[in-house]
Structure 1
Amino acid sequence: MTTPLTAQQLDEIQARHTAATRGPWGVYQFGGDSLIEVAADLKDTGTGYTARRTIARFDEEPLDNDPTHAEWTAEEDWAQVQADAEFIAHAPEDVRTLLAEVRRLQQQRRYLINQLAKRDARSGEADRKVREFLAADDTPAP
């Protein structure tokens, strides 16, 4: 991506995130470790699992339709299935975190641009405020 995300793009991502099945999402294996499911509100009951909804199901189908994977072993194929399931299971949490960080950085950027625009070369007040801002843990309101 070469241009900053717009507020509309962030809102659209947020809307898709909000519309998705509530989490937390978890991963479990079954079928003799030949199937993996990503499920919402996954709980281990001690005798099995319960979940509110299955999000995705993966099986150990080989990747021999892709010539770049021709040398993969069954263990490598299964490891890839597991990695994909973990990625999807963490997507809601990761998207929420990334959206918050993008919005925080955008707010920080607006604040810094505003401070630089107010810069007074003689007093150095804007420079002091920018240094204080960058040293702070929290982003002050613009």
Structure 2
Amino acid sequence: MILLESHCAAARDTVQCLCVVKSNPEPSVAFELPSRNVTVNETEREFVYSERSGLLLTSILTLRGQAQAPPRVICTARNLYGTKSLELPFQGAHRLMWAKIGPVGAVVAFAILIAIVCYITQTRRKPGWAGRAALRGWGDSSDFRISGAPEKYEVRTRAPCL
């Protein structure tokens, strides 16, 4: 049985795939890369490291130079009683996405933060003299101004007729 803790992880230009198999008798493990039509088994020490502990066999496939999207990897375990296969999920796929958009996201987040700080400082700015006077109840109704009205105007009165 291939355990569900089996997975692949990508980091920079390397992909490591872990295949954990619980079996009795001992299985042989192979990694298949269908997109490349390649099968790598545990006898190829340059690419695969295997360790046995009781009924568990842990095999690690290391692929170097994987700058593009990681390939599909299938772990296959065989023994006298049959064959089991599992396509290994990639745990670092979302990390690769964040690594690519991280700098852009950081700039956008910083710009939003600056905009929020500016908005808060503008809305909390202390009112000027006219605002303070109105808040304290100073002044009278003559301080009221209508927009568009002239600032000063004269009232002319006629002299009484005699």
TM-score by length of 1: 0.33
Q: From the two aligned structures, give the one with the greater helix fraction.
A: 1
Higher strand share: 2
Higher RCO structure (Cα 8 Å, ≥6 apart): 2
